[in-house]
Amino acid sequence: MSYRFSHRIYRLPLQTPLRTAHGWWAEREGILVRLEDESGSVGYGEIAPIPWFGTETMIEAEEICRKFSDMVSDDILDNTPERFGCVRFALGQARERRPANASANRLPVAALLPSGKDGLRVFPEKLEAGFLAFKWKVGVGAVDDELGVLDDLLAQLPAHAKLRLDANGAWSRREAGRWLARCADRPIEFVEQPVAPTEEDTLLGLANDYPVTLALDESVVHLSEARRWQAMGWPGVFVIKPALAGPLNEVCDWIVKTKADVVFSSAIESALGRSAILQAVLAQSLTRRALGFGVAGIFGDRKWDGPFIGPLADASCVAFNPGEDLWNALN
């Protein structure tokens, strides 16, 4: 099939900049793509790269879009190199022509806590709002300081709630050992990416040496990487950001076929990318773990944020057709 292709760039300030082990993140850049098929049916997709996370850069994504002519075919789109996972996600989303599935399924959502002592300030508010799963960014401050905050958080954590720790690969082997020893008898759901993705032997060693569930995140940016770790016998969780991983249908097929233990996580994409992901996740039994989409209102603009996502994600939080409105907003 042939399509008329066009693209538009967006830049959105984050309402509250995010502090991670890689530094402060204050602005979201991305690209919206538009495909109109021979029948006049229009689809939209979102390219939302995170270069420091291991994706293509904005410059690379723009170059690919510029190289496409006004008319493209399925063959041309399918030949986009695998390492451009964000571009491939968007092209797959824009070509999807099935109607949105308003599934009756519901899944819990994990609230994102800011790093350091700010996590203690935000935690009661999220708990009061009804969240029962929480993700706290670590690996930002001194280990002793953060371990003290961990003790304070766990002291407030109800018995039925779950806490996830995300180090973004910032720890050394020694620091990871300290954390995992402290977490061994604590109600920690999992520790995410304790050391850098390049430290593969260390990751496998930590997973086997400590009775704490570990999760891969930066190590599995692309679906091919998740498949490779699975073939290596990874015993833990895969944190998958579908907007980075490649075509959504391929991600879903892999989970269904291999029964991978997956957490779906936001890449701070807009309502356009998020709606496609949540539609697919809610329509299928792909995970029982809380979704990593507790970033509601991150842009401070309802058009781009989409419907509010609270402690539970269901059909009511999916913006079924945000593409045209967002596309026109960039005109």
Residue 101 lies in a domain: no
Catalytic residue flag (residue 241): yes
Any idea what the CATH number is for the domain that residue 82 is in? 3.30.390.10
53 & 161 share domain: no
**Of the residues 62, 95, 128, the one at which a domain ends:** 95
Question: What pLDDT band is residue 132 in, cutting at 50, 70 and 90?
Answer: very high
Q: What is the pLDDT of residue 105?
A: 83
136 & 270 share domain: yes
Whether 228 shows a pLDDT value over 60: the answer reads yes
Q: What is the pLDDT of residue 296?
A: 76
Q: What is the pLDDT of residue 62?
A: 97
Q: Which amino acid is at 136?
A: W
Catalytic residue flag (residue 137): yes
Q: By mean pLDDT, which of 28-32, 35-39, 211-215, 280-284 is the weakest? A: 280-284
Q: What is the pLDDT of residue 164?
A: 97
Any idea what the CATH number is for the domain that residue 282 is in? 3.20.20.120
**Strand ranges in the chain using DSSP code E only, listed in sequence order:** 2-20, 23-37, 42-47, 71-73, 107-113, 133-137, 162-166, 188-192, 214-216, 237-240, 262-264, 291-294, 312-313
Q: Which amino acid is at 266?
A: S
| Total structural domains within the chain | 2
143 & 15 share domain: no
Domain that holds residue 274: 107-322
- Averaged over 89-99, what is the pLDDT? 86
Tell me: the pLDDT tens digits for 253-263? 999 999 999 99
183 & 123 share domain: yes
237 & 155 share domain: yes
Residue 331 lies in a domain: no
Whether 112 shows a pLDDT value over 80: the answer reads yes
Q: What is the pLDDT of residue 126?
A: 94
Helix, strand and coil percent figures for the chain, each rounded to 5: 40, 25, 35
**Of the residues 74, 95, 116, the one at which a domain ends:** 95
Q: Which residue in 126, 135, 162, 241 is the catalytic one?
A: 241
Q: Which residue in 126, 135, 137, 162 is the catalytic one?
A: 137
Q: Name residues whose C-beta falls within 8 Å of residue 114's C-beta, 6 or more positions apart in sequence.
A: 18, 19, 122, 137
Tell me: the pLDDT tens digits for 234-243? 999 999 999 9
Tell me: the pLDDT tens digits for 264-276? 999 999 999 999 9
Q: What is the pLDDT of residue 97?
A: 66
**Of the residues 95, 115, 131, the one at which a domain ends:** 95
73 & 143 share domain: no
Q: What is the pLDDT of residue 24?
A: 84
Q: What is the pLDDT of residue 16?
A: 85
136 & 11 share domain: no
Q: What is the pLDDT of residue 98?
A: 61
Question: What pLDDT band is residue 297 in, cutting at 50, 70 and 90?
Answer: confident
Q: Which amino acid is at 91?
A: L
